[in-house]
Structure formats: structure tokens, C-alpha cells
Amino acid sequence: NAGVTQTPKFQVLKTGQSMTLQCAQDMNHEYMSWYRQDPGMGLRLIHYSVGAGITDQGEVPNGYNVSRSTTEDFPLRLLSAAPSQTSVYFCASSPFSGGGNEQFFGPGTRLTVL
């Protein structure tokens, strides 16, 4: 199993550009989520999904869209990038929602918005 994969690993955008961060998992996990990591702030939840077709907002959802059409994939879309979205983005998955399950993290994407 590849686990949780994220592409790209690094990305530089100009203000106003759009892009999609890709996340895929091959463990048939029900729950998937996106976090951003900023210096001195830990990881903060952006959006999450408890199954295909079901998504919800986390702590910092503004400026980001998600969809979940399959169990495997959970892309994160930036519609109009802003310098405040410069961060490291992590995708995570777990077998099912609740129950204190371990979340498995992808390797992260470092995004810089100029």
C-alpha cells in the first residue's frame, strides 16, 4: 500500500491564481481531512469528509473548496490564492469516523503564494 499520497510536494503560485492539491489513499478509509500547518500555530483543520459525497467545514475553511466523489480521492481547491494561504498542507485519513482512530498523514505540500 502506498498509504496517503499528496501531489505536488511543492508549489509556488501568484496571488489570484487557482490550483488543486491532490490527495489519495489506497486503504479504503472512510474519513479524510485537510489540515494546514503554520509556524507557531500547529495544524488546523480546513475541511473533512466522512464518506464519498459528504464533506464539511473545519476550523479554517475560508478560501478553500473540497469534494469527495470517490472513497480514494479528496482534492483541495484554492479558487483565488492569497499570500495568507502560504502554508504546508497535510491530507489525512482514518478507517472510519470517531472512535479515536489513528489518522494517517500524507507527506505534505508546501505552498507559497507570492
- CA–CA dist 65, 111 (Å, integer): 16
Judged by beta carbon, residue 27 or residue 88, the one nearer other proteins is 88
Q: Minimal distance in Å, beta carbon 55 to other proteins?
A: 11
d(CA 111, CA 88): 6
CB of 44 to other proteins, least distance (A): 7
Min separation Cβ 20 and other proteins, Å: 21
**Between 51 and 75, CB nearer to other proteins:** 51
**Smallest distance from the beta carbon of 80 to other proteins, in angstroms?**
26
Nearer to other proteins, 83 or 107 (CB): 107
**C-beta of 35 vs 74, nearer to other proteins:** 35
Q: Binding residues for other proteins, per CB under 8 A?
A: 31, 33, 35, 40-45, 48, 50, 56, 58, 88, 90, 92, 94, 97-103, 105, 107-108
Helices and strands: H and E segment counts in the chain: 0, 11
**Strand 109-113 relative to strand 87-94: parallel, antiparallel, unpaired?**
antiparallel
Residue 84's SS3 state is: helix
C-alpha to C-alpha distance for 61 and 66, rounded to whole angstroms? 10
Rounded to 5°, angle at Cα 26 from 36 and 88: 15
